[in-house]
Amino acid sequence: MSALLEVDNLNVSMRNGSGRLVPVIENLSFAVAPAQTLALVGESGCGKSMTALALMRLLPEDFVITSGRIVLEGRDVLTLPAKQMRSLRGSAMSMIFQEPMTALNPLFTVGDQIGEVLRWHQGLDRAAARSRAIALLRAVQIPAAEQRIDAYPHQLSGGMRQRVMIAMALAGRPKLLIADEPTTALDVTVQAQIFDLLAELQRSTGTAILLITHDLGAVAELADEMLVLYAGRCIEAGASEAIVTAPRHPYTRGLLNCVPHLAVGGPPQPWVDLGEIPGMVPPLGARGADCAFLARCAQACDVCRAKPQPTLEPIAPGHAVSCWRKTELAA
């Protein structure tokens, strides 16, 4: 099956105060197939959101794509003229943001805002856009959609607003939906609802989803494949089920150990400390040729210290990892 989105050797750098380029994302390659979900996982500061913004060509001013290719449906996104790029945004690919409380224009009703996207991308007139907007609000399971369409964002709860954002993102019938931590700002119960909604909408519309998250539970449930990013480098990639059940990279293991597991029933368990990964992601500009995780890795040995960052190499069918000790640590 040919991929919907192909990212090939993407490199993004930031121009720092003295005008020097500091790498933010290094040699990132991945592909998303139609109607599939790919998850980008990693701590804050690993370059997940920057990857998403690079795909949309909406990187902040001081960030530059230094090399690589982004191909969406056979079109090279990075060489498109600005005007064509704009018509791609919202129609071929659209994006949901992390913070639903601030991602809607406070001065217009949600109907106005969804309708606007419909008018830009599908040339609907006002009346048609309104009835389509109501249908979209229903699709994202907002009760009393006919009334809510005239609500202003401040009249809606966070979960409702995120549903509105999803409706807006789906308005242009995108082939690719980028969801940048869509539930981080929401209640746990609402988080589950939003993930269920995304899964259901994916089934009914066939859109591919690029899910950026650090909710590994959601990844296991929602994503077909996943990519673990660390300090702007992909350190493990493969089918999400395989990685969640048998992580190979020490960082991925660490991440999975940070997730609490609730067991209901049975005798009370002795208190087990949640795992944590000591230290933090090396800041921009402090990333050398070494394995970026070296300083925090409990399994680091002489090989790791002597050699540069290993390349991402397959360890099993559809599972690749970037670690010098990948075979030793398999068990």
- In this structure, are strands 176-180 and 63-72 parallel, antiparallel, or unpaired? unpaired
Question: What is the DSSP secondary structure assignment for residue 283, as one 8-state letter?
Answer: P
User: Which of 3, 31, 75, 120: binder of other proteins (CB under 8 A)?
Assistant: 120
CB atoms within 10 A of CB 140: 22
169 binds other proteins (CB under 8 A): yes
CB 152 within 8 A of CB 159: no
Stretch that binds other proteins, among 27-35, 151-159, 195-203, 261-269 (CB under 8 A): 151-159
Whole-angstrom distance, CA of residue 111 vs CA of residue 25? 37
Q: Is 39:181 a contact under the CB 8 Å cutoff?
A: no
Q: Beta-carbon neighbour count of residue 330 at 10 Å? A: 11
* Binding of other proteins by 175 (CB under 8 A): no
Distance of alpha carbon 111 from alpha carbon 113, whole angstroms = 5
By CB under 8 A, name the one of 168, 179, 211, 218 that touches other proteins. Answer: 168
- What angle, 0 to 180 degrees and rounded to 10, lies between the N-to-C axes of helices 188-205 and 158-171? 20
Nearer to other proteins, 58 or 301 (CB): 58
Comparison of 129 and 234: residue with beta carbon closer to other proteins: 129
Binding to other proteins in span 58-87, by CB under 8 A: 58, 60-61, 86-87
Q: Are 275 and 258 in contact (CB under 8 A)?
A: yes
The answer to whether 109 contacts other proteins (rule: CB under 8 A) is yes
151 binds other proteins (CB under 8 A): yes
Q: Does 56 bind other proteins (CB under 8 A)?
A: yes
Verify binding: residue 155, other proteins, rule CB under 8 A. Answer: yes
- Which listed range, 34-42, 112-120, 209-217, 299-307, lies at the site for other proteins (CB under 8 A)? 112-120
- Nearer Cβ to other proteins, position 92 or 227? 92
Q: What is the distance between the alpha carbons of residues 72 and 93, in angstroms, rounded to a whole number?
A: 9
Q: Which residues bind other proteins (CB under 8 A)?
A: 56, 58, 60-61, 86-91, 94-95, 97, 99, 102-109, 116-117, 120-121, 143-144, 147-148, 150-152, 155, 165, 168-169, 171-172
